[in-house]
């Protein structure tokens, strides 16, 4: 992670990829209402996750006047990767 701006771009890019993949599955394999509900829930979760991550970046939780350290932003990056992986796993499980 080079800076905060790149981290925000990474979050937006990855979350958009998850949403696009969900819509692709929605169009190609979303025949049943149950699958559509699962895909809708995944999209809703990703949107909430994206907003929460951007909120954490814009309003860091630090003590006093100190700036957040690299570990703080590294944790946000790791959380982004974890949430995206979970979303892809849920989508994969829904397709079985």
Q: 73-92: per-residue pLDDT in tens?
A: 999 999 999 999 999 999 99
Which of the two residues, 52 and 34, has the higher pLDDT score?
A: 52
Q: Cα dist. 61→10, 43, 57, 76 in Å?
A: 21, 27, 9, 12
CB atoms within 10 A of CB 17: 14
Give the mean pLDDT of the chain: 89
Read off the pLDDT of residues 27-36 as tens digits, 9 standing for 90 and up.
Answer: 887 678 888 8
The pLDDT assigned to 49 comes to 96
Decide: residue 65, CB within 10 A, 0-12 exposed, 13-18 middle, 19+ buried: exposed
CB atoms within 10 A of CB 16: 12
Average pLDDT over residues 46-67: 88
Percent of the chain's residues with pLDDT above 70: 96
pLDDT exceeds cutoff 60 at 20: yes
Q: Pick from 10, 9, 8, 35: which is nearest to 22 by CA?
A: 35
């Amino acid at each position: 992670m080079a800076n905060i701006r790149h981290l925000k771009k990474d979050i937006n890019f990855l979350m958009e990829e998850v949403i696009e993949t969900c819509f692709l599955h929605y169009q190609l394999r979303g025949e049943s209402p149950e699958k559509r509900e699962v895909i809708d829930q995944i999209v809703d979760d990703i949107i909430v996750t994206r907003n929460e991550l951007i909120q954490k970046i814009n309003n860091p939780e630090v003590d006093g006047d100190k700036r957040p350290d690299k570990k703080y932003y590294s944790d946000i990056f790791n959380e982004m990767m974890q949430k995206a992986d979970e979303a892809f796993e849920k989508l994969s499980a829904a397709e079985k």
